[in-house]
Structure 1
């Protein structure tokens, strides 16, 4: 009863600890910022959790075993030592958090319960002297020891035996399960320990870190890897005879002799390469954590993980075989080795970056026939990427990884394996061309550090048919932990086909559907179709790995297995001509579909049964090859028709190909009444097409022109439509005006086209007038880049528009495309690799003071590292002059110190090819999808503010990383405050490329930054002074520098008014002092005084003409208030003499003449 009670107590404690970890995992998913100083080390908690789970397994084993099972008790004690060491590590960590303390305390409770269990098992012998004997199996005698229950043993004298080498003492007679741990194992009862011996020779060698000096005299016994065989001069390549077996005694064996040193190790970037085929490394206990082959370097240089580029712990050759060992890289994970704590080592960096584990030996090609049994692979990013074997079999093995780590190569089979995913993309491309990645009865656990709950088994795959990569078969496999959904790849190929059977998700083991949006891609195997992978309850490994040479690592093949030895393990349809032009009779309307099983000769493909829509297609099957040729019937729908053709093998396995049938063509559009209308901040192009029912896909380009009919202007607007029709935009009819359009006419060129027509002749349209300042009230410069036209131009002369300033090379740094991952299915401006030496800039004419640049952007990387690799960066320029390449701004970069979940932000001063840091580097998680940054200059202060709408990842929460930025620098020299530049721009150094093809862009665009839009405001240091003459003669505007004085213009004139000076307000209340400095744009208003007549004096004269006609001239002389005299004169025709009243201007004058030449009277009538 005591044993059962202790087991029950321990089980309950472990369940509580499990519950704690579940709660911690769930908390990771919440976007709650961890308070400063309370970040915790999730990796160490994870290590403890894994060790605790092993403890739980051993408790269960002990519960089921006989109470006197010495081996099981000793294994439990060793596991208790591992848990204790990890718990101690958490408790002694600096600034340990409540999470760490809680995990450690729960572990200690579990340890106490386990110890109680052992005490209960040995209670009957408590206090008695116990005899421990040593069975040397014919070797020299070793004295027994008398101890009490709970005591450790003293290390006895090493026995000797002719022709054999001593390994150690085992608790089991088979000397294969558990080697006694003299540091941690304690006696629980009477027992015998058994000596293990091995025979060594040229092809059988012993690796024993604790071998005696006498044992090391044997040339086939070694304490280190480097002394096992022939070591190269650089100590990085170990040659062993073909077929050598290496027995590995528990211990830690370093592949890199400089593992304790800092600095950067020279290439090759492999700690140690094992040269020689068919080499076996066999750990001499069943616990793979006892024998460890390890390295501890990775990418990042001296400040990172101690290597330049990816660095692998071990390189192997074809035929490599391992059992019961760990192959690891401890650069980013603590090494805890309870058997010998002197081997413990702290990680170099708290990161999840490039620190790889296993690759092919230096200078060798793809290895074949690799067999790993009970082997643990402990790493993170790119863990096994460089291995890519032709065939490999992993049995009962463990994998710890982040992204881009596994599944590469030909045929990889994983049976009863456990995977700990710390990332969401375990592979790049999956299996290579013609290969397959097979999971059989395995378990995939999503760890808390996964960025999201989605797993994508491959990032990018290509081709369909015999050369397709990224194909999987997943049978009886459970996905659990943080994983909530599984996709075949980032962009699921509609014609891919993967085999599945009996897979589950979650602890509830609900049925798993992979890529549910493309259900046809998962082919569920049943009955005979499943035999390729599983016969009854046995997995058919031989069928998958036999190749052409009958390789049988599982020892499975016999005569009874022959019917299952040559079955197809993948089936796809290779399709040529997927897009069919239904109005053609040539090859453009022909699809050829070829059945492609693997192995190719595993089925007679001429028996393939094809099914398709006969209303859409005509088909002919080649009876000799099974290939079907299809032609499309005329499609008169006006739209593309999508249809699937399915091929089925005699076994019932099917695959398919999706065809796209284009409609019959229509005539090009007829365009009428084109015109451009200018309104506030907008120019709108309008026209009419002859067929309103067809989709308008016309392409429109915009230009600046100096006149109403010139054609040599500047290209300012464009459309991004591509020839493959991946992106077909709405016609670009609305052009947003900005201040640099003022003074120009606008020209639009329309290339008319319907969706399924040819293009018509280009049509050119002009505005009726030039754009005026009154048309542009928007002062900001804004673009979403979609219709922005830019090319490489001369940086010394180009102003007032975006352009590429190429320092060297020919690469284009930015291109339009569709994103994936963090920018999934979003169109935008994406970076291109190789564009580092080309800046994307805008130089403004004039002088400016304060300015700001607001950039909305997304990184396709979702973990927080922002860019494709260490050393990649993006510069943002403000107060910048493209002509001299001088200015200020920000650099965001990915570095080893930043880790795999953050970027480094630093303010800089830029001067040509040189840059000077102005602030301390800031590590932040703000460079994510859906992010915004503002880079501004106010007075003497350069400031960056940034935020993101992306939730923090669990790792960012764990490390208490900020996901916002507020970074500033104030210039005390005055240089920034006196900087007159108003230019701005961007420089990018990243490894990805833009792509229009979503289906083929998974890896290409995964390492890109996408620009969504940018808005720039700059305060003119040059100010425009406008003169409003209030109806008087026009006065031209002036440009005055900041703080300058207005040069007084000539006085304007206005009929009937006297100019009364310039005023700063429209109410004419405040006269302007021309000695005052100008600090902003302003308008001066003319004041006027009306002119008044003070007096008017009439006069008249008569001119005698022939006959009785005379001319009477009347003048009014006005004395005006401005001191001038105004004379109004009118001449009238009279007969001889006359007396009358005449209108002269506004006056009525009475005149009386006499004698044809004299004036009797002349006066103004009242």
Structure 2
């Protein structure tokens, strides 16, 4: 890496830049005012002299005017009113903003103090407008500069104290900036909803956090370009969002404190310090990713696995240091994908070299010895110069750190972007075209001028999979991929594009063998019955391949297939060839629908096999709902549970639908009735293995037993919440799961256990017994906050006479110092009823906030 300007010239340029900036602020002749002789700066070690029409700070006199205003909360109203460009609150100041220009920006000069963007003492709960989150201030101003008149960023604090469910409905955000050229410097921007505000200059201005329960509490959005934060402290926890949304943004020598989903996904972070109290500071990154240069990360939580992103995105770290406890793994993302490529150079953990994401090594590009490193820094005269110019130049030569003349590379790509991330192709089914483009940071194309590095693009297949595809028609940045898989198994691998300088990009590829015709039925197909079991008896011409037919069982009201409702389905490539009869089948005609299939075929035309008569009690034998020891039992692991919506309430059937309970009315959400509410599949995070998951918010299951009077009853449900910290649900916005028994599914009347996210704790949920009466829910017990709603959670609910009880525990090892319950036992005396139904109602958001259902057992003990 070559430096093209000598050190002397560099120092001269810095001096000239200093003179240019000073010229914008300095007036030679100060204007004194006897009215303010008593003014004393809050920080006597870094004083401000206030003269009414001007101020003196740092040895410079600054004349106030339409585009240069001064704010100090210590000025009383009468004195502030005497001067046109002087204010004592941030709200008054921003009401007088005018658009600035690049050469004459709109400057707001803040004296040391605490400036409340939103009144923390008002009891009002704020809400957003037009479907957006609530904001403390919406500011529209071009080339706006917020400048703290201090050397210590702790001395000027722009503050708020609201977050989701804590003084706000929605993710409260301090600022919503609109305009290009925003700059903030020498101050703190903090949402102190879940963090104490300690103000060392004057402790009486400090303030305790609103709540220790961490919730979504944002700092700022910005809509524009060319944004700089210099020597700024950004303080919050969950979803901090420090100036999130700009096309180009530089964080220069800033400090950040946050938990998850918090950082700006396309930022350039230069010499910043980051205190991480969660596991994943980004949700994801965008516009060619986030870049960290000479930054320090300190992990302050107890997580053993740390990552940068929840969902895959590009991250680049150059000369960065990670500080954490021993035996901590640091990866790029929670859910690694074969297409992801991230970059590191000079990275250390606790002082030792460390490769990030070692469990998935293909995700990491180590560029310590690659020409690509010039895109991020160069060594000039023995000094390291970080190439912020190359990163943020854009198409207008923006140079926020003034190093344009010091570096040799100013048009170098930092990402290799492909036209797709995943591709599924079938041998014999045609080819696909892959293309790649070298991009500069921020999603900019290379400039028309010659590039600073060799950007020729090459292609390769992951070693060991070369025979699965043929690469042809090379045309610089594109290639044709033809599948050539002649095995019976689908091959999953990646195809990688790369440049000589070190950029890489990849596509995750799934290549299936050619599709063969579905197998034919051989001989007779029929239903046979023995010992309460129906069997679909069929034979296929499989040519040695495994049978993967889709067999679905239905109950029909007659022998003509009318009113067919699925009661058992095939999953996981395993045909469900048998069906055990139950008392709920009495009076129905059972049908098996067989769609013939093997590993290399699609499903063929279905054959329906249906009983010639209705099921009668003598057919049952030993069944899933069986009379044993005076009880009837229903059990399922949900593997064959039909997830298609079934909205009717019918004795002996599950109602599979969506429902928005009345007690969630204040929270605006809905669901799509044309889409299934439940899905069976593989989980993630805390949800281990496979199980039944909510596909939409409001997912509900209700089991209606055959008609009769029911006495005592118990229900055991084994679940894995996707959330791993014990909070169970996305936020405390009416998000809960109710498990009900002794339940009338027609009138929504009965008893249950409610598990609900609470505003009281960030890593716990509340448990309470409840009564349903016509859909209206009344608590029967006080809520108990507990930390046991985690992976391996077993929920037991039982009714004995007039006694309702619940027991909840988990197999997960729990922290011993939380001060909260690790096992839940609740009981209440209630009025017995003759209902025998059961229900599960989930009102939480889906995806990251689902609860996987693994196993359900319902037991009825004798008649009522």
Give the TM-score band, short-chain normalised: 0.7 to 0.9
**1:799 maps onto 2:799 in alignment:** no
CA shift digits 1:697-738 (9 cap, x unpaired): 21001134678x6544643434365xxxxxx43112343444
Q: Is the 8 A contact 2:590 2:611 kept in 1?
A: yes
Look up the SS of the partner of 1:228 in the other structure: helix
Equivalent in the alignment of 1:277: 142
Residue 460 of structure 1 corresponds to which residue in structure 2? 311
Of 638, 641, 646, the residue aligned with 1:788 is 641
Alignment of 1:1054-1069 (within 5 A): none
1:590 equivalenced with 2:440 (yes/no): no
Residue among 287, 292, 305 paired with 1:439: 292
* Match status 1:478 vs 2:333: no
Partner-residue secondary structure (3-state), 2:159: strand
Cα gap change, 1:615/1:894 in structure 2, threshold over 3 Å: closer, same or farther? closer
Aligned counterpart for 2:393 among listed residues 546, 551, 562: 546
Q: Cα deviation per residue 1:906-950 (whole Å; 9 max; x = unaligned)?
A: 222112232222111222223222211112111111111111223
Q: How much has 1:609 moved relative to structure 2? A: 2.4
> Per-residue displacement from partner, 1:1081-1120 (whole Å, max 9, x unpaired)?
xxxxxxxxxxxxxxxxxxxxxxxxxxxxxxxxxxxxxxxx
Deviations 1:13-65 (A, max 9, x none): xxxxxxxxxxxxxxxxxxxxxxxxxxxxxxxxxxxxxxxxxxxxxxxxxxxxx
Shift of 1:878: 0.8
> What CA deviation, in whole Å up to 9, does each residue of 1:874-908 have, x standing for no partner?
1222111112221111222224x233212222222
Residue 307 in structure 1 maps to residue 168 in structure 2: yes
- Report the CA distance shift for 1:322/1:865 in structure 2 as closer, same or farther (over 3 A): same
Does the aligned pair in 2 maintain the 1:865–1:898 contact within 8 Å? no
Given that 1:703 and 1:713 are in contact with CA atoms closer than 8 Å, whether structure 2 keeps it comes out as no
Structure having the higher helix fraction is 1
Q: State which of 252, 260, 273 in structure 2 corresponds to 1:418.
A: 273
CA displacement at 1:851 relative to structure 2: 0.5
Partners of 1:698 and 1:246 lie apart in 2 by: 71
> What is the aligned residue count?
784
Alignment of 1:904-915 (within 5 A): 904-915=766-777
The answer to whether the aligner puts 1:628 opposite 2:470 as a matched pair is no
Distance 1:889 1:658 in 2: 46
Which of 694, 702, 706 in structure 2 is aligned with 1:831? 694
- Deviation, 1:375, is 0.7
Question: In structure 2, do the counterparts of structure 1 residues 662 and 833 end up closer, same or farther at CA, with 3 Å as the change threshold?
Answer: closer
Q: CA RMSD in A?
A: 3.4
Structure 2 residue 574 is the aligned partner of structure 1 residue 730: yes
In structure 1, C-alpha distance between the alignment counterparts of 2:89 and 2:343, rounded to whole Å: 44
1:249, distance to aligned residue in structure 2 (A): 1.8
Q: Answer whether contact 2:277 2:300 (CA < 8 A) is retained.
A: yes
Q: Show the counterpart of 1:917.
A: 779
| Partner residue in 1 for 2:159 | 294
8 Å CA contact 1:683, 1:737 repeated in 2: yes
Question: Deviation digits for residues 740-762 of structure 1, max 9, x if unmatched?
Answer: 24566643222111111243343
Contact persistence 1:293–1:327 (CA under 8 A):
yes
Q: CA deviation at 1:379?
A: 0.5
Residue in structure 1 matching 2:95, options 222, 230, 233: 230
Distance 1:611 1:833, change over 3 A: closer
Native 8 Å contact 1:295 1:328 kept in 2:
yes
Decide whether the 8 Å contact of 1:446 with 1:480 is kept in 2: yes
Residues 683 and 693 of structure 1: is their aligned pair in 2 closer, same or farther, counting only changes over 3 Å? same
CA 1:621–1:532: 2 relative to 1, 3 Å: farther
Distance in 1 (alpha carbons) for counterparts of 2:516 and 2:710: 54
Q: 1:961 to 1:593 in 2, by over 3 A?
A: same
Deviation at 1:488, TM superposition (A): 2.4
**Larger Rg over CA atoms:** 1
Q: Post-superposition shift, 1:307? A: 1.4
Aligned twin of 1:390: 247
Shift of 1:138: 10
The answer on 1:860 being equivalent to 2:722 is yes
Which residue of structure 2 aligns with residue 655 of structure 1? Answer: 505
Counterparts of 1:148-297 in structure 2 under 5 Å? 159=37, 167=41, 171=45, 198-211=62-75, 214=79, 217-230=82-95, 243-256=105-118, 258-265=119-126, 267=128, 269-297=134-162
Q: TM-score, normalised by structure 1?
A: 0.63
Task: Sort the Cα spacing of 1:805 and 1:526 in 2 relative to 1 into closer, same or farther, 3 A.
Answer: closer
Matches within 5 A, 1:292-371: 292-300=157-165, 305-317=166-178, 318-360=180-222, 366-371=223-228
CA drift at 1:647? 2.5
- Per-residue deviation, residues 246-290 of structure 1 (Å, max 9, x unmatched): 22222111111x322223135462222333122222222221111
CA distance change for structure 1 residues 676 and 223 in 2, over 3 Å: closer, same or farther?
A: same
Alignment of 1:657-1056 (within 5 A): 657-672=507-522, 683-685=534-536, 687-691=538-542, 693-704=544-555, 711-712=561-562, 714-719=564-569, 728-741=572-585, 746-765=590-609, 770=615, 772-776=619-623, 777=626, 779-789=632-642, 792=645, 795=648, 798-804=650-656, 810-811=672-673, 812-823=676-687, 826-835=689-698, 839-870=701-732, 871-895=734-758, 897-952=759-814, 958-971=817-830, 976-977=831-832, 979-992=833-846, 1005-1021=847-863
Q: Distance in 1 between matches of 2:562 and 2:472?
A: 56
**Which deviations, in whole Å up to 9, do the C-alpha atoms of 1:468-496 show, x marking residues without a partner?**
xx221122222222582233223222112
d(CA) in 1 for partners of 2:365, 2:579: 47
TM-score by length of 2: 0.83
Q: In 1, are the aligned partners of 2:415 and 2:503 still within 8 Å (CA)?
A: no
2:418 matches 1:573: yes
Instruction: Check conservation: 1:877, 1:889, Cα contact below 8 A.
Output: yes
Per-residue deviation, residues 1123-1146 of structure 1 (Å, max 9, x unmatched): xxxxxxxxxxxxxxxxxxxxxxxx
1:499 to 340, 343, 356: 343
Aligned to 1:535: 378
Inter-partner Cα distance in structure 2 for 1:395 and 1:606:
29
Deviates more, 1:735-744 or 1:915-924: 735-744
Closer/same/farther in 2, CA of residues 571 and 706 from structure 1, 3 Å limit: closer
Distance 1:326-1:706 versus aligned 2 partners, 3 A rule: closer
Cα pair 2:808 2:823 within 8 Å, conserved? yes
Equivalent-residue separation in structure 1 for 2:197 and 2:557 (angstroms): 72
C-alpha deviation, 1:298, in angstroms: 1.6
Q: 1:510 to 1:221 in 2, by over 3 A?
A: same
Query: Matches of 1:628 and 1:677 in 2, distance apart?
Result: 55
CA distance 1:480–1:618, change in 2 (3 Å) = same
Checking the alignment, whether the CA contact within 8 Å between 1:595 and 1:647 is kept in structure 2 is: no
Check whether the contact 1:497–1:571 (CA below 8 A) recurs between aligned residues.
Answer: no
Aligned partner of 2:459 among 610, 622, 626: 610
- Secondary structure, aligned partner of 1:548: coil
CA distance in 2, matches of 1:524, 1:818: 35
Q: Distance in 2 between matches of 1:577 and 1:351?
A: 39
1:349 CA displacement: 1.4
8 Å Cα contact 2:635/2:857 also seen in 1: yes
1:516 Cα shift?
2.3
Unmatched 5+ stretches in structure 2: 1-27, 51-56, 661-670
Summarize deviations over 1:136-182 as a string: whole Å, max 9, x none. Answer: x99999xxxxxxxxxxxxxxx9758xxxx97567547xx69x99xxx
Q: Which runs of 5+ in 1 are unaligned?
A: 1-136, 142-156, 180-192, 232-237, 361-365, 462-469, 722-727, 993-1004, 1022-1041, 1043-1166
Corresponding residue SS for 2:267: strand
Alpha-carbon deviations, 1:645-690, whole Å to 9, x = none?
3323232433333433322333422344656565667555554443
SS at match of 1:263: coil
Check conservation: 2:532, 2:620, Cα contact below 8 A.
Answer: no
Contact persistence 1:166–1:198 (CA under 8 A): no
